[in-house]
Amino acid sequence: MKRLHRPLAALLMLCLTTAARAHDAGPVSDPEALGFSSSRLARIAAWQQSQVDAGAFSGGVAAIARNGRVAYLRAVGFRDKAKTIPLQPNAIFWIASMSKPVTSVAAMMLVEEGRLDLAAPVHQYIPELKDMVVAVEKKDPVTGKTGLAREPQKHPMTVLDLLRHTGGLVYGVGGTKVDQLYKSLYGNAGVWRRDKTLADFVSGLAKLPLAHQPGEVWEYGHSVDVLARVIEIASGQPFDQFLEARLFKPLDMIDTGFYVPEAKLSRLVDPPASGWGGPPDSVMADVTKPTKLFSGGGGLVSTAADYLRFCQMLLNGGELDGVRILSSATVRLMTTNSLPPDIRFAGIASGLVGPQAGSTWGLGFAVRSDAAWSVVPGSVGSFTWMGASGTYFWVDPAEQLTAVHLIQVAPGKGGPFNYAFRNLTYGAFRVPDQGAPDAARAPLRVDANRLAAYVGTYRFASSSSRDKQERREFGGLGLEIAMQGGRVKVASPMPDAPAARAGVMANDIITHLDGEATQGKSLNQVLDKMRGPVNTSIHLKIVRNEQHEPIELTVVRAPIRAAGADLEVAVKDGKLELEASGALSVLDFEKGAPITVVPMSSSEFFVDGGDHTRLAFRRDGTDQKMRLVLDPGPWQIIGQRIN
């Protein structure tokens, strides 16, 4: 078994620095020996610093391990909102929904021991949930008003439903009438408070209806918090004690728990400058004092080092440093699709593009199932999740890779940072260096007209040699959206996508789609309405801050792709010069650092330095458009000229 050795704790101390730009500290291990380019890994810290400088987040910690050894562990920026205290690699973050995989592992430990039955009704462990009904919105044909009809469960909610979010439990943050009922859980009169217990919370939840029939719809919600209460009952221990004794202590996760002790508060990262959203996020984020509410869905704090050990245990098939947590068969079950064909995994708080695209749901994890639909690199079978606070991790068994990125941003704002970190990580993989060819000693001369034929912008769907599949396109608007107080809020429009070109802006509230009110609809319903065939139109009504009248826009759906890597090819002084110009760097090419390439033939070139990236210009396919192939061969990346 590959192991992530605990000398990591000692190595963390080597990374400590008093400089604000803590990313100047050296990497933990030799990244070249683990298949990475040191110079391209350094782009992670440079990107983080640019985000700190722009005020996107105050600081971040990134950790990457491969083959059981840490290739990268650095902190950038500051621990506090005032930007006066440098962030250190052992900083403690509220990890929000990255708690869910931990709780799921805890439940499966009990399943292996025969103390918990996946097929059993939840009411077998929590009898007071037996009589929960399902609320269905129905319109009165006489009055035209919409009300809630209550129906019995067709099938009881099972423990499996809790693990895969198909039990009908929701968070109550959408705009449906059921969401409005769930808001009673929050606030001073509710049961979702740090001075209440999981038992108190479940008692309050039992008085509410389910939003869906169990086993019929995937919707994110309080399922894993109920699962934590099931674990308490099945194990006979408070949930925090079970985790400490059975998971954190055996894995040596020394800084993970439900609050930060006073002696460690100097390492706790401040909330984002904008603060947290409303409940349930604000309740869980107060981690400076002990709590009675051990939220399995979002209550934990942790460090990059601790969570990397948790990830490595999963990558190893349930074992780390001689400690067996789960069997390899159970880990395979958890990281394999658990949803029936008629249930769609939609992801959370994201619109048409996000790190969950091309994924399905296992038992506690989103699992990458279709690389062609995905907008981020990685192997099929990779599994991942994130937290509302911007924290993110994934495990790639095919590449023997684990990665953790910890930042603190407002809920719903983490998607673009997850996307960038994942691309930067895979973009740092080395391609076998073929060295400088003979042409380096005796460069060829290429006809000026031939060089001019190559000039233009080339777009690459990915910046990674590990992402070999062509991406499918789909018709959409190009929006990241989130539900906030029952309203559809634009988190961010994709650059150059239809919505952005039509004038949609971040923080806009979309009130109507083709005349239908978005208030009262779920996130999935809104997403389905936005999608459609390419070149079809949809009418949006928008409310924007500081504008009294609603804004009405017609947006034409277009093929949607995530922003990838662009290379600008120009001729300067009779030679080809290339520079990255898109959202991502690619191989040897960066933004603001043009590179003159050396010809090997009239259509083939190479970079005389760095990783010796090779280039080939080709006209392929029926369209005969010019393409640029980087490192032709098994690790090639293909870009198409777009102008």
Percent of the chain surpassing pLDDT 90: 65
Over residues 528-534, the mean pLDDT reads 84
Residue 392's pLDDT is what? 96
Cα separation values, 335 from 98, 365, 373, 481, Å: 15, 7, 19, 27
Residue 356 pLDDT level (bands cut at 50, 70, 90): low
| pLDDT given for residue 227 in this prediction | 98
| Nearest CA-CA partner of 403 in 415, 385, 388, 387 | 385
How large is the greatest C-alpha to C-alpha distance in the chain, in angstroms? 87
Residue bearing tokens 């993989």: 429
pLDDT over 80 at 174, yes or no: no
pTM: 0.87
State the alpha helices, DSSP H only, in 428-521.
448-452, 498-502
Amino acid at 573: D
Cα–Cα distances in angstroms (integers) from residue 432 to residues 30, 55, 315, 378, 613, in the given order: 16, 38, 25, 19, 10
Instruction: Tell me the CB-side half-sphere exposure of residue 505, using CA atoms within 13 A.
Output: 9
Range with lowest mean pLDDT among 17-31, 144-158, 493-507: 17-31
Sheet with 69-77, strands from edge to edge, namely 69-77, 59-66, 401-406, 392-396, 383-386, 366-368, 359-361
Confidence of residue 559 (pLDDT cuts 50, 70, 90): confident
Tens-digit pLDDT profile for residues 205-251: 999 999 999 999 898 999 999 999 999 999 999 999 999 999 999 99
Q: What's the mean pLDDT when you consider all of the chain?
A: 88
Checking 5-14 for CB contacts under 8 A at 24+ apart, the result is 5/68, 5/69, 5/321, 6/252, 6/321, 8/70, 8/73, 8/305, 8/308, 8/309, 9/254, 9/305, 11/70, 11/73, 12/73, 12/89, 12/90, 12/305, 13/90
* Cis amide prior to 280 (ω within 30 degrees): yes
544: pLDDT strictly greater than 80:
yes
pLDDT of residue 457: 95
pLDDT of residue 27: 54
> What pLDDT score does 440 carry?
61
Q: Are 128 and 186 in contact (CB under 8 A)?
A: no
Q: Is the pLDDT of residue 21 over 80?
A: no
Residue 206 and residue 493: Cα distance in Å, rounded?
39
Q: How far apart are CA 20 and CA 86, in angstroms?
A: 5
Q: Any idea how long the chain is? A: 643
Query: Residue 323's beta-bridge partner residues?
Result: 320
pLDDT, tens only, 44-95: 999 999 999 999 999 999 999 999 999 999 999 999 999 999 999 999 999 9
Q: For residue 610, what pLDDT is reported?
A: 87
